[in-house]
Chains A and B, each alone.
Chain A
Amino acid sequence: MSILVDKNTKVVVQGITGRDGSFHAKQMKSYGTNVVAGVTPGKGGESVDGIPVFNSVKEAVEKKGANTSVIYVPAKFAVDAIYEAADARVKLIVCISEGIPAIDMLKVYNYLKTTETRLVGPNSPGVITPEVAKVGIMPGQIHKKGEIGVVSRSGTLTYEVVYHLTLNGLGQSTCIGIGGDQIIGTNFIDCLFLFEKDPQTKAVVLIGEIGGTDEEEAALYVKKNMKKPVVAFVAGRTAPPGKRMGHAGAIISGGSGTAEEKIEAFEKAKIKVAPTPAEVAALIKEELVLIQQNKPNT
């Protein structure tokens, strides 16, 4: 088992004939992902690395049974791409595109709530279930199949943490980059809920950063609703207030959204916070040992 992405995932790549879309379509396919179709309006009938291209997501769903879309189109076309995929009733949309205006995302978020479609992102590196399927842009080779769930607002920082997990023999069930924007489709709590239910996942790594209060809410959620251990890391202790640190969502405003507040919230919820990305793996090992010790002898 895993969450969001598994062996039944059939991917349609929106923007497959673009530079990023074609490159990552090939990468996903060579990782073993079942990439069934691509979409670029006006380029139906072509193919990219043997993947058939259609004019619309609807066609890709009808003819190839696509159930997951990954979006690589430029920001100004991305909102339309999301609505199109939702209209074609794909179950999961992973939006890699960065730079969608927040006002548009407010509409997208509230519209998708009335549908059965889940959105991960925008500004997400994607979702990977190691050795099964990758839907996104992360380097597949650093991942390894296993029991640790990873959820993060970042891209390369997640790779850093995953790299250390793998080096320490800690494989992953699923890794999700929820995206660095202010308004995103799936948040920490949604992922924690899914990891708690997933039998393959034994422990969860949560990687947060400055801005907003999602980490604080996640901490409360873990305390109230989760039996599985969670280990956290928070980036941005040295970030100055009022400055956007790359990600649209990474800004300390009005004195709130600081790393200190988030770390304090985690510690209050008895969630261990790693001081450096490399130390996440050691804390996860400690938690796994505790699970072993607490198991009733059989």
Chain B
Amino acid sequence: MKIHEYQAKEIFKRYGIPVQAGEVANSPEEGKNIAEKIGKPVMVKAQVLVGGRGKAGGIKYAKNPDEAYQYAKEILGMEIKGIKVKKVLVTEAADISSEAYIGVIVDRKTKKPVVIVSQAGGIDIEEVAKTTPEKIFKLEVDPLLGLQSFQARDLGSKIYSDFKIAAKAADVIKKLYFAFTENDCSLAEINPFITTPKGEVWALDAKINLDDSGLARHPEIESMRDKDAEDPSEMKAREGGLSFVKLNGNIGCIVNGAGLAMATMDLVKHFGEEPANFLDIGGSSSPEKVLNAMKIILKEPNVKAILFNIFGGITRCDDVANGIVQAVKQLKPPVPIAVRLTGTNEDKAKKILEKVNLTATSSMVDVVKKAIELSKG
């Protein structure tokens, strides 16, 4: 799950990472009020869960509350990469001497948390890694020991020659590491991390991505979920225990298992059509799950045929067949259905399907071809 900058900054504050005064506004009036409260020039920043806000004109410098009102009005409602801006963060503007990068990630390759720092802040770190990799410093942390102070000092001195500033950076690096591990982040990032002419340091931006598997133990973070940013069907599926990703093709896919679901989508494409979605009904699927899956898929107007690809293991084919029968009777789907059932209780399942005049095949290739043919009416 991703959270907004203003939410990530709330978490940063809890850990003592220096974040400037600011509040989130839903309207130009609110934006003006916040700017008045701050009493200094402010930045008005679009809160959207995609990168490239600045380039899209979603970040503006306002000298006074009236300008803050004006910019908030401009930015609220604007679209950035297809996403409508519904909130802006109004925050004190900073006098910037230097910009650096500090980040922590879960590194799949080394199986360790890795702290990344760079003097090249304020720009896309992946771009820095490509063009000037010598400007990036990485430290693999032993997760059993955690980040030690000397390691943080060492990283701080990699980006600042002034020892005082390096020490302040080291302090932030340690705090960011704690915030990262204690909140089950997959990424925690300050870009840019800035210094001012007075020798202050600030986290000017904040980005946190959460590990979905860790969310259950952080209800306060789960409550930060931006429900507007999520596709309504995807949200419904998640709440119903289904894994669903919306795509743009015509063939609705209902599959058990994530790998088989992806392979099914690929096979649809292989035979010249596009899948409408990824949908994994998971193991031990009950008839209700199948019914829910059908409901979600039938909401998509572009779906021209529904394809079931079930390889029974823990999932029993007869459970799925019962679900299909229920769904056909209740939902009266306006599009044709092609079914593949192999494995546990396959024969029983095929008999059940006869009730609604469906013939299931045992082959994945056959069912994909059949669904494509049916979709063309």
Q: Is the Cβ of A246 less than 8 Å from the Cβ of B108?
A: no
Task: Determine if A100 is an interface residue (Cβ-Cβ < 8 Å).
Answer: yes
CB B297 to nearest CB in A, in angstroms, measures 16
Task: Determine if A137 is an interface residue (Cβ-Cβ < 8 Å).
Answer: yes
Binary interface profile of B, 100-124, with partner A (CB < 8 Å = 1, else 0)?
Answer: 0000001011011100000000000
Query: Which residues in A have their C-beta under 8 angstroms from that of B364?
Result: 160, 276-278
Q: Is the Cβ of A103 less than 8 Å from the Cβ of B181?
A: yes
Q: Is the Cβ of B262 less than 8 Å from the Cβ of A137?
A: no
Q: Is the interface of A mostly helix, strand, loop or mixed?
A: loop
Q: Is the Cβ of A110 less than 8 Å from the Cβ of B142?
A: yes
Stretch at the interface among A5-13, A43-51, A63-71, A247-255: A247-255
Query: Which residues in B have their C-beta under 8 angstroms from that of A236?
Result: 262, 265-266
List chain A positions with a Cβ less than 8 A from chain B: 20, 75-76, 99-103, 106-107, 109-111, 125, 137-139, 142, 152-160, 163, 180-183, 207, 209-210, 212-214, 217, 233, 235-240, 243-250, 254-255, 259, 275-278
**Within the complex, which residue of B106, B266, B270, B275 is in contact with A102, where a contact is CB–CB below 8 Å?**
B106
Task: Determine if B342 is an interface residue (Cβ-Cβ < 8 Å).
Answer: yes
Task: Determine if B361 is an interface residue (Cβ-Cβ < 8 Å).
Answer: no
CB A207 to nearest CB in B, in angstroms, measures 7
Q: List 8 A-B contacts (CB under 8 A).
A: A103-B181, A106-B112, A156-B259, A159-B311, A209-B258, A233-B263, A235-B260, A276-B266
Stretch at the interface among B28-36, B40-48, B161-169, B208-216: B208-216
Task: Determine if B352 is an interface residue (Cβ-Cβ < 8 Å).
Answer: no
Query: Which residues in B have their C-beta under 8 angstroms from that of A235?
Result: 259-260, 262-263, 266
**Most-contacted residue by chain A among B142, B143, B263 (CB, 10 A):** B263
Query: Which residues in A have their C-beta under 8 angstroms from that of B314?
Result: 20, 137
Query: Which residues in A have their C-beta under 8 angstroms from that of B214?
Result: 101-103
CB A147 to nearest CB in B, in angstroms, measures 23
Nearest 3 Cβ contacts at the A-B interface: A154-B259, A246-B258, A156-B257
Query: Which residues in B have their C-beta under 8 angstroms from that of A233?
Result: 263
Q: Is the Cβ of B211 less than 8 Å from the Cβ of A103?
A: yes
Interchain CA distance A276-B369 in the complex, whole Å: 13
Q: Is the Cβ of B213 less than 8 Å from the Cβ of A248?
A: yes
Q: Is the Cβ of B111 less than 8 Å from the Cβ of A106?
A: yes
- Given the known inter-chain contacts A109-B111, A155-B313, A236-B266, please indicate yes or no for A246 contacting B211, CB distance below 8 A: no
Task: Determine if B344 is an interface residue (Cβ-Cβ < 8 Å).
Answer: yes
Task: Determine if B365 is an interface residue (Cβ-Cβ < 8 Å).
Answer: yes
Task: Determine if B278 is an interface residue (Cβ-Cβ < 8 Å).
Answer: yes
**Within the complex, which residue of A107, A125, A209 is in contact with B262, where a contact is CB–CB below 8 Å?**
A209
Q: Is the Cβ of B211 less than 8 Å from the Cβ of A110?
A: no
Q: Is the Cβ of A106 less than 8 Å from the Cβ of B312?
A: no
CB-based nearest A residue for B109: A213
- Given the known inter-chain contacts A182-B108, A245-B245, A246-B280, please indicate yes or no for A75 contacting B259, CB distance below 8 A: no
205-247 of chain B: CB within 8 A of chain A: 211-214, 216-217, 243, 245, 247
Query: Which residues in B have their C-beta under 8 angstroms from that of A101?
Result: 184, 211, 213-214, 217
Q: Is the Cβ of A246 less than 8 Å from the Cβ of B343?
A: no
CB B255 to nearest CB in A, in angstroms, measures 8
Given contacts A155-B260, A156-B313, A209-B262, 10 further A-B contacts (CB under 8 A): A110-B112, A154-B258, A156-B260, A181-B213, A210-B262, A237-B269, A238-B247, A238-B268, A244-B245, A278-B364
Interchain CA distance A291-B12 in the complex, whole Å: 60
CB-based nearest A residue for B143: A106
Q: Is the Cβ of B283 less than 8 Å from the Cβ of A139?
A: no
CB B318 to nearest CB in A, in angstroms, measures 14
- Given the known inter-chain contacts A138-B313, A254-B126, A276-B267, please indicate yes or no for A103 contacting B243, CB distance below 8 A: no
Task: Determine if B186 is an interface residue (Cβ-Cβ < 8 Å).
Answer: yes
Binary interface profile of B, 306-327, with partner A (CB < 8 Å = 1, else 0)?
Answer: 0000011111000000000000
Interchain CA distance A193-B269 in the complex, whole Å: 34
Query: Which residues in A have their C-beta under 8 angstroms from that of B312?
Result: 139
Query: Which residues in B have their C-beta under 8 angstroms from that of A111?
Result: 144
Task: Determine if B250 is an interface residue (Cβ-Cβ < 8 Å).
Answer: no
Q: Is the Cβ of B257 less than 8 Å from the Cβ of A75?
A: no
CB A18 to nearest CB in B, in angstroms, measures 12
Task: Determine if B190 is an interface residue (Cβ-Cβ < 8 Å).
Answer: no
Task: Determine if B256 is an interface residue (Cβ-Cβ < 8 Å).
Answer: yes
Q: Is the Cβ of B257 less than 8 Å from the Cβ of A163?
A: no
Task: Determine if B261 is an interface residue (Cβ-Cβ < 8 Å).
Answer: yes
CB-based nearest B residue for A114: B144
Q: Is the Cβ of B213 less than 8 Å from the Cβ of A154?
A: no
Interchain CA distance A163-B364 in the complex, whole Å: 11
- Given the known inter-chain contacts A103-B184, A245-B278, please indicate yes or no for A276 contacting B365, CB distance below 8 A: yes
Interchain CA distance A259-B216 in the complex, whole Å: 30
CB-based nearest A residue for B211: A102
CB A181 to nearest CB in B, in angstroms, measures 8
Q: Is the Cβ of A238 less than 8 Å from the Cβ of B266?
A: yes
Query: Which residues in A have their C-beta under 8 angstroms from that of B278?
Result: 239, 243, 245-246
Query: Which residues in B have their C-beta under 8 angstroms from that of A155?
Result: 257, 259-260, 283, 313
Interchain CA distance A75-B139 in the complex, whole Å: 29
